[in-house]
Amino acid sequence: MTHNLEILNYKYMKRNLNDSNYLEYKPTVEHFLETEELNRINLNRKINIEGLNKIFKDAQDSTKVKSLLKISKEEFESQKASFTDAFVGLSLHNLLRLSPSEASRPEVWNSLTYTGEEVLKYHLYRKNIELTEENKDLTLKDIFVSSTMGTIHQHNKISWPWWVVEVTRNGSDYISSLDAFKSTTYFTTRYIQSFLLHQRPIAIALSQYFAEFDKEPRRFNKLRREVLATKGADGLGQYSVALKDYFIENRVFENIEYPKISQEKFQKWQESSSSFSFKSGPNDFEVTQETLDKLFKIFDDIGLKRGWIKTSA
């Protein structure tokens, strides 16, 4: 038997929760949205949440995180926050099987937060994960997803990793999503709302490109963090700005092959369930290796224009 998510009334929460009462809030039946309201906001599908608490409990256990992501202790320690986000994003993507339309609703994420005690505990854990000084308390702002795009896509610590996974998965293949998280939280937070990441081929290619960027033998005389976060010699600011400029200027978008998305396959996936594996995503499209290779070449060329120097082939 499955356990489905009850969707809470956004307006009630928005009006009544504040920093002094949000931790004590216990949703009751009166706060659940009725069918008619759910239809209106396209949230009428039953969303299975069996195992939700376990996901958030396991996310606070480094052994579980390393095991699911198949990463070493050293790798985990080097980017604790990013890999914890990866664990949450990938696990939620596999469990909830949300469509982008459903995931764009703040109601989904606010309802999840109040579904099990582990979710709130996780919010607190995530807030303090890399703090070396005194721990910080949660505030309502940390957990409540308001109806703005930035909060849903970029700021909330459970909705945002889901979106990272969604925009960077290559059909059923979640490896490129893990690559996105490997490319640091700078990449997953700063690039996620960029128009470039709306475009699946570019999002996947960028994730793979930066996940490998610092690997030995290094191909360029630059480190990933320098490339992502600092300006280049072309005066165009950060790499994301240069990329956008180059893509628009050279009309690159028109030469990229965009995959056809199969809704039938996506819905079939939504209606099924399975434990997580790196191939358990929806098989609704595929960006070919040929397309990705073309994009890698473009990324290299832009780098060279920005003053990177090749150190190996």
Partner 1 sequence: MSSIKSITKFDIFDSDIDVNILKLDNTKVSRQINSSWEKTHSQKKGHLNKFQEWKTVELQILGQVDAKSECDEAILKINCDWTNFYNQIKLNNIQKNKNEITFSTEYTLNKNLVSSEVTFSIDFLNKGKLVGESKRFSVFVDNRIKPDIDSSQFTWIFSEFDKDTENEIPAEYRALVQKEFNLRGHKPLSFFSTPDSENKLGIHVNLSFPGLDENLFNDNEHIPESLIGLRDLLEAYYRSNAYMVQFTNLTFLIQALAQADRKKYVEEKISEDELENRVVEAINNKFDSGSIGTSMELVNYLSSLIFPKEKNEKRRVYDWWKYAQENQQLLIERFNLSFQTVFNPLKKINLEEIIEDLMKIENSKNSDSEGEIIDS
Residues that bind partner 1 (CB under 8 A): 10-11, 18, 37, 39-42, 99-105, 146-150, 152-153, 155, 163, 166-167, 189-190, 193-195, 197-200, 229, 231, 235-238, 241, 245, 251, 253-254, 258, 261, 263, 266-267
Least CB distance to partner 1 at residue 28 (A): 20
Nearer to partner 1, 62 or 151 (CB): 151
Least CB distance to partner 1 at residue 104 (A): 4
Least CB distance to partner 1 at residue 22 (A): 12
Least CB distance to partner 1 at residue 222 (A): 17
Nearer to partner 1, 119 or 183 (CB): 183
Least CB distance to partner 1 at residue 190 (A): 6
Give yes or no for a contact between 204 and 168, defined as CB atoms under 8 angstroms apart: yes
Nearer to partner 1, 100 or 307 (CB): 100
Q: What does the block give as tokens for 69?
A: 């992501």
Nearer to partner 1, 65 or 302 (CB): 302
Least CB distance to partner 1 at residue 239 (A): 12
Least CB distance to partner 1 at residue 255 (A): 9
Nearer to partner 1, 123 or 153 (CB): 153
How many residues belong to the chain? Answer: 313
